[in-house]
């Protein structure tokens, strides 16, 4: 039995470079398919990074009414379709639930940046009167929550958080807060896409992109050869429900529970204080009422930057001991999806718990001195009840979430 | 924990950076004098745009205490946030260095992030749109900070020494209310002891002006900037863009009392609902805002008839006035007509994500001083606007309970209830 106020996940909608839709994504993930390749959206040859995890085969017009297309950025279109998939997976027609009982809380990273690029180009090359009437909302950070709410008639609590690449977990945590306050159902998570020249240059300025040209070795978190990450596009939306509500409506499946969460932000560089990831893990475990030994797998943030990999490895070993828990980073197959990365990891974690298998980290061999039990090469079967998902963002955001599977679904 | 035992959240420090002055005191003086800070745009040449006016902050980053490196790496909105947070921290009398950093958090609202910097940097890397493949070699080193506005939360966290929960809340023009609601929830659930929360925006850039021109949301009253922001007036024809920030120190009541803090007000309730209707449009019935008001009052344990003052969204558009008036009547009934209502956007403009927090500052100061700020530029209320708008001149008025509301693109409708925790009967 779950305690009152328990927040469960009853639907998943995912869009990833390795697959559109939950089943396609999960099959590709267990098969270790690499979705990273040379950028096709624009010619990347003049830039110091040229690889990305692009979603291929997504035709918005197959899924969305044509009137939505001129007013939406690519990331919003993918988010709208992912939301449709999540509701369908949950067996929920949100419009049939009472007004105000369903909310939407997403994370964003850089908004509809490609849409913004096109309008900035119109403004500066032609003039202000050429800027789209949709610019006022199509690029901004709140757009996905707004559009999902409109498409699905969601009038409940709605919000948007931005905490770089940790925001996806913060959104889900905020959704859990609303469910605890009485909202029955919240769709939450994030989808990001900003693979356009202007977005690329802004990301390059962050100094964390891998310059490699070989998709198999460009993003190697925890590896001695780690030299940056590869960005990608996509993410996941999760249907979160109050457990009682899910049971009362006869939800066909309950993937599991959002059991614990915490977040911290690193001290100012040069302060001499230690990074906050370790603390975030401890607090998330305490929030879940879980001992470290109960965690069966860690989905790592996996920065792919040696200093940051070291911080994460030290935090994990400090809590779980050397080689104390299986660690994996399936995002090595997709690239880092910005705010979409952590929700996609949550989806992967719930599928791992369901199927009793840990997806692999591809390409990487963990450097020995990190003392991690990194799951590499092939999926690892395991008895899994509880997973920890970590996400970090530039500027020092650290978020940690503990999820538990539902034994009866095994 | 039951609702009766829940932790109560109070405001113990205020910082404001608003058009027309500098700091909280000059902000309050402007409001109570009924002066307007709207003028022709000076931040760039706006002569080719439909709307050429805004409420600008006369901001000098260096005089405001920022170092050259801080100035270089931060967008104007981030600079506002940091300077304003420092004012709030100083005002709170709380020694942040002595706090447990993991129990101190930051929530900053912003609707449009580092728009000014992104606009400027795009011009350079694209050579005014000539280059489709924009030139990496011309990018400034801190461009990533502008790409992702969560850098605002990081900067404030660094400035105050917070290492607990930190995020940016970006719900369009309700960001400033929702950031405070978000921070209050974190304090109530016990994830932090102190939150530095508020909102900032600095949107007065060509791209923002152009995008509001395109939908005629802003006023074209360029010949009379001082009287251009006219919420509820029969001649209103769009909002006036603004900029600024307001940041607060929030603490749990018992903790604030124990340290003998000056307690301005309690953040007693917050709720946000969506209209699920249109990204920029508002339904005339105000149903979802009324629901947000109802839920926020319920959370505050306050009856609608106890509201002494309503700080309106009052953006100065016809659709807002119709929507908001309907929402007040639907949620508060006859009390809506009796209660003083005003829109400070008539004086400081509409600073998008920041304004909600700036309006909370005005609401809190109304409680502190028992003075209700006026609605400037309101000689002739529109026929459908039939509430008590406190036109032109501030009014002395015993104020213990304030409702502040906002509407945002995306369909967001939010309400915050602020109370004097020491009012009689408490």
pLDDT in tens, B38-63: 999 999 999 999 999 999 999 999 99
CB-CB contact of B44 with B381 (8 Å): no
Q: How many domains does one find in chain A?
A: 2
Q: CATH number, domain at A78?
A: 3.40.47.10
- Give me the residue from B102, B144, B169 closest to A394, CB to CB: B144
CA distance A258 to A290: 12
Contacts of A174 in chain B (CB under 8 A): 182
Q: Which of A391, A394, A410 is nearest to A402 (CA)?
A: A391
pLDDT tens for A280-314 read 999 999 999 999 999 999 999 999 999 999 999 99
Is residue A254 in some structural domain?
no
**Interchain proximity A123–B169, CB inside 8 Å:** no
Reading the block at residue B256, the tokens are: 């604030």
Residue where a domain terminates, one of A194, A215, A248 = A248
Alpha helices of B266-401 — where are they, by DSSP H? Answer: 287-300, 318-332, 335-338, 345-348, 355-369
Domains and CATH numbers, chain B: 3-114+149-419 (3.40.47.10)
Q: Is residue A1 domain-resident?
A: no
Look at the block and give the residue holding tokens 């005005």: B362
Which residue from B135, B163, B279 is facing A267, i.e. has the nearest CB? B163
- How confident is the model over A216-241, as a mean pLDDT? 98
Among B141, B104, B80, residue whose Cα is nearest residue B358? B80
User: A248, A269, A301 — which closes off a domain?
Assistant: A248
Shortest CA distance to A137 belongs to which of A70, A78, A71, A45?
A71
B323 flagged as catalytic: no
Answer whether B165 sits within 8 Å of A264, measured CB to CB.
yes
Is A408's pLDDT higher than 60? no
Residues of chain B in contact with residue A127, where contact means CB-CB under 8 angstroms, are 48
Pick from A155, A159, A197: CB nearest B178: A159
Q: Which of A395, A398, A399 to mutate to test binding with chain B, by most B CBs within 10 Å of its CB?
A: A395
Domain membership flag for residue A21: yes
Q: What element of type H or E holds A296?
A: none
Q: Which residue of B has its CA nearest to A134?
A: B211
Question: What is chain B's mean pLDDT, rounded?
Answer: 96
User: Which tens digit of pLDDT belongs to each residue from A57-87?
Assistant: 999 999 999 999 999 999 999 999 999 999 9
Q: Is the pLDDT of residue B1 over 90?
A: no
pLDDT at A1 over 70: no
Residues A94 and A76: their CA atoms lie apart, in Å, by 19
* Residue A237 shares a structural domain with residue A274: no
Does residue A2 lie in a domain region?
no
Q: Which of A100, A133, A163 sits opposite B150 (nearest CB)?
A: A163
- Which segments of A45-196 does DSSP mark as H helices, in order? 74-90, 113-125, 135-138, 143-152, 167-180
pLDDT in tens, B134-181: 999 999 999 999 999 999 999 999 999 999 999 999 999 999 999 999
CB contacts, 8 Å: B67 with chain A: none
Query: Which residue of A lies nearest to B214 if distances are taken between CA atoms?
Result: A133
For residues A111 and A216, state if they share a domain: yes
Q: Is the pLDDT of residue B283 over 70?
A: yes
pLDDT at B384: 87
Residues of A in contact with B212 (CB under 8 A): 136
A104 and A65: one domain? yes
pLDDT in tens, A320-369: 999 999 999 999 999 999 999 999 999 999 999 999 999 999 999 999 99
Q: How far is A161 from chain B (nearest CA, A)?
A: 5
Contact B409 A150 (CB under 8 A): no
- At B371, is the pLDDT very low, low, confident or very high (cuts 50, 70, 90)? very high
Mean pLDDT, residues A164-169 taken together: 98
Q: Look at residue A2 in the predicted model and tell me its pLDDT.
A: 54
Q: Bridge partners of A361?
A: A376
Same domain flag for A178 and A83 = yes
**Residue A4 — very low, low, confident or very high, per pLDDT cuts 50/70/90?**
low
Look at residue A3 in the predicted model and tell me its pLDDT. Answer: 61
Identify all chain B residues contacting A50, using CB atoms and an 8 Å cutoff: none
Residues of B in contact with A133 (CB under 8 A): 214-215
Q: Are residues A130 and A86 in the same domain?
A: yes
CA distances from A43 to A229, B131, B132, B133 (A): 19, 13, 10, 8
- Record: contact A120-B122, CB cut-off 8 A: yes
pLDDT at A270 over 50: yes
pLDDT of residue A169: 98
ipTM above 0.90, yes or no: yes
Query: What's the CA gap between A293 and A97, in Å, rounded?
Result: 40
Asked if the Cβ–Cβ distance from B207 to A276 is below 8 Å, we say: no
Q: Is residue A185 part of a domain?
A: yes
Query: Within this chain, do residues A314 and A370 fall inside the same structural domain, yes or no?
Result: yes
Q: Smallest Cβ distance to A124: which of B123, B172, B271?
A: B123
B350 is catalytic: yes
Residue B351 pLDDT: 98
Q: How many Cβ contacts (< 8 angstroms) between chains A and B?
A: 270
Question: Mean pLDDT for chain A?
Answer: 96
Is the same domain home to A208 and A154? yes
Q: Find the distance separating the first CA and the last CA of chain A, reported in whole Å.
A: 15
Pull the structure tokens for residue B260: 């003998």
CB contact under 8 A, A135 and B207: yes
Percent of chain B with pLDDT over 90: 97
Q: Please say whether the beta carbons of B164 and B103 come within 8 A.
A: yes
- How large is the C-alpha radius of gyration of chain A? 20
Chain B: nearest CA to A265, how far in angstroms?
A: 5
- Which member of B142, B146, B313, B323 is catalytic? B313
Considering the domain architecture, whether residues A162 and A271 belong to the same structural domain is answered as no
Of B128, B145, B169, the CB nearest to A161: B169
CB contact under 8 Å between A160 and B170, yes or no, is yes
**If pLDDT is split at 50, 70 and 90, which confidence band does B3 have?**
very low
Closest CA to B335 of B369, B295, B290, B374: B290
Q: Residue B128: left (phi > 0), alpha (psi -120 to 50), or beta? A: left
pTM summary value: 0.98
Mutate to test the interface with B, among A49, A102, A120 (most CBs of B within 10 A): A120
* Cα(B286)–Cα(B129) distance, integer angstroms: 41
Please name the residue of chain B whose CA is at the shortest distance from the CA of residue A101. Answer: B273
Which domain, by its residues, includes A167?
7-248
Q: Does position B345 have pLDDT exceeding 70, yes or no? A: yes
Q: Left if phi > 0, otherwise alpha if psi is -120 to 50, otherwise beta: which for B333? A: left
Q: Within a domain: residue A253?
A: no
A248, A275, A304 - which closes a domain? A248
Q: How much of chain B is helix, strand and coil, in % rounded to 5?
A: 40, 20, 40
Cα B132 to Cα A42, A199, A212, B278: the distances in Å are: 9, 12, 23, 32
Segment A175-196, tens digit of pLDDT: 999 999 999 999 999 999 999 9
Are A169 and A264 part of one and the same domain? no
Whether A120 sits inside 8 A of B408 (CB atoms) is no
- pLDDT band for B424, please (50, 70, 90 cuts): confident
Percent of chain A exceeding pLDDT 70 equals: 98
C-alpha distance from A181 to closest chain B C-alpha (Å): 10
- What pLDDT is recorded for position B30? 98
Judge if A151 and A290 occupy the same domain.
no
% pLDDT > 90, chain A: 97
Q: Which residue has the tokens 């931060």?
A: B74
DSSP character string of A312-331: HHHHHHHHH-TT-SEEE-GG
Indicate whether A288 and A221 sit together in one domain.
no
pLDDT at B331: 98
- One domain for residues A268 and A228: no
Structure tokens at B34: 């009924």
Exactly one of B142, B146, B270, B350 is catalytic; which is it? B350
């Amino acid at each position: 039995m779950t305690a009152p106020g328990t927040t469960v996940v009853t639907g998943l909608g995912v869009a990833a470079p390795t697959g559109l839709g939950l089943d396609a994504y999960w099959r590709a993930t267990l098969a270790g398919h690499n979705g990273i390749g040379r950028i096709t959206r624009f010619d990347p040859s003049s830039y110091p990074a040229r690889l990305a995890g692009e979603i291929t085969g997504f035709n918005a017009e197959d899924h969305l009414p044509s009137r939505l297309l001129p007013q939406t950025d690519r990331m919003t279109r993918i988010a709208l379709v992912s939301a449709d998939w999540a509701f369908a997976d949950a067996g929920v027609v949100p419009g049939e639930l009472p007004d105000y009982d369903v909310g939407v809380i997403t994370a964003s990273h850089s908004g509809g940046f490609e849409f913004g690029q096109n309008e900035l180009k119109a403004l500066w090359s032609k003039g202000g009167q050429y800027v789209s009437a949709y610019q006022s909302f199509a690029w901004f950070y709140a757009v996905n929550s707004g559009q999902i709410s409109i498409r699905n008639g969601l009038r409940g609590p709605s919000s948007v958080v931005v905490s770089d690449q940790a925001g996806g977990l913060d959104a889900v945590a905020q959704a859990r807060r609303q469910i605890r306050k009485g909202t029955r159902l919240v769709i939450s998570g994030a989808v990001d896409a900003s693979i356009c020249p202007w977005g690329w240059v802004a990301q390059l300025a962050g100094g964390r992109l891998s310059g490699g040209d070989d998709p198999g070795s460009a993003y190697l978190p925890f590896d001695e050869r780690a030299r940056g990450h590869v960005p990608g596009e996509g993410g996941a939306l999760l249907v979160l429900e109050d457990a009682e509500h899910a049971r009362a409506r006869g939800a066909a499946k309950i993937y599991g529970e959002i059991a614990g969460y915490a977040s911290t932000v690193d001290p100012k560089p040069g302060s001499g204080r230690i990074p906050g990831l370790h603390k975030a893990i401890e607090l998330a475990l305490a929030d879940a009422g879980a001992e470290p030994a109960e965690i069966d797998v860690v989905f790592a943030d996996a920065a792919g930057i040696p200093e940051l990999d070291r911080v994460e490895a030290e935090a994990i070993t400090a809590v779980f001991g050397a080689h104390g828990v299986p660690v994996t980073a399936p995002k090595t197959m997709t690239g880092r999806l910005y705010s979409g990365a952590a929700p996609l990891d949550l989806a992967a974690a719930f599928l791992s718990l369901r199927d009793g298998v840990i997806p692999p980290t591809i390409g990487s061999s963990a450097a020995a001195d990190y003392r991690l039990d990194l799951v590499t090469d092939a999926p690892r079967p395991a008895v899994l009840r509880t997973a920890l998902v970590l996400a970090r963002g530039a500027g020092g955001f650290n978020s940690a979430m503990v999820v538990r599977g539902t034994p009866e679904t095994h | 924990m039951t609702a009766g035992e829940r932790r109560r959240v109070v405001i113990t420090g205020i910082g404001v950076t608003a058009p027309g002055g500098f700091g909280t005191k000059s902000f309050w003086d402007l409001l109570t004098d009924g002066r307007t800070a709207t003028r022709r745009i000076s931040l760039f040449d706006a002569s080719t745009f439909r709307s050429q006016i805004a409420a600008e902050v006369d901001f000098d980053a260096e005089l405001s205490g920022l170092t050259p490196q801080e100035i270089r790496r931060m967008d104007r909105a981030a600079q506002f946030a940091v300077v304003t947070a420092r004012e709030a921290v100083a005002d709170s009398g709380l020694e942040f260095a002595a706090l447990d950093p993991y129990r101190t958090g930051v929530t900053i609202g912003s609707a449009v992030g580092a728009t000014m910097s992104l606009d400027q940097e795009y011009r350079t890397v694209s050579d005014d749109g000539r280059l489709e493949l924009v030139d990496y070699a011309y990018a400034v080193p801190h461009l990533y900070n502008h790409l992702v506005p969560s850098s605002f939360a990081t900067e404030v966290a660094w400035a105050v020494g917070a290492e607990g929960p930190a995020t940016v809340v970006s719900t369009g023009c309700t960001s400033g209310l929702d950031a405070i609601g978000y921070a209050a929830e974190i304090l109530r659930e016990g994830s932090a002891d102190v939150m530095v929360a508020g909102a900032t925006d600095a949107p007065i850039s060509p791209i923002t002006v152009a995008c509001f021109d395109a939908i005629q949301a802003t006023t074209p009253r360029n010949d009379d900037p001082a009287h251009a922001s006219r919420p509820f007036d029969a001649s209103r024809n769009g909002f006036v863009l603004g900029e600024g920030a307001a940041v607060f120190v929030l603490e749990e009541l018992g903790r604030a009392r124990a340290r003998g803090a000056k307690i301005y007000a309690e953040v007693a309730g917050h709720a946000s609902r969506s209209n699920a209707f249109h990204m920029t449009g508002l339904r005339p019935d105000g149903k979802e805002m009324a629901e947000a008001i109802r839920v926020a009052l319920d959370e505050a344990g306050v009856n609608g008839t106890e509201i002494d003052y309503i700080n309106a969204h009052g953006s100065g558009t016809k659709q807002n006035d119709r929507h908001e008036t309907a929402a007040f009547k639907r949620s508060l009934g006859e009390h809506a007509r009796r209660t003083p209502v005003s829109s400070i956007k008539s004086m400081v403009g509409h600073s998008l994500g920041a304004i909600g927090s700036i309006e909370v500052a005005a609401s809190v100061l109304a409680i502190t001083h028992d003075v209700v700020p006026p609605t400037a530029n309101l000689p002739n209320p529109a026929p459908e606007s039939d509430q008590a708008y406190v036109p032109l001149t501030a009014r002395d008025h015993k104020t213990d309970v304030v409702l502040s509301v906002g509407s945002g693109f995306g369909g967001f409708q939010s309400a915050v209830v602020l109370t004097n925790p020491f009012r009689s009967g408490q």
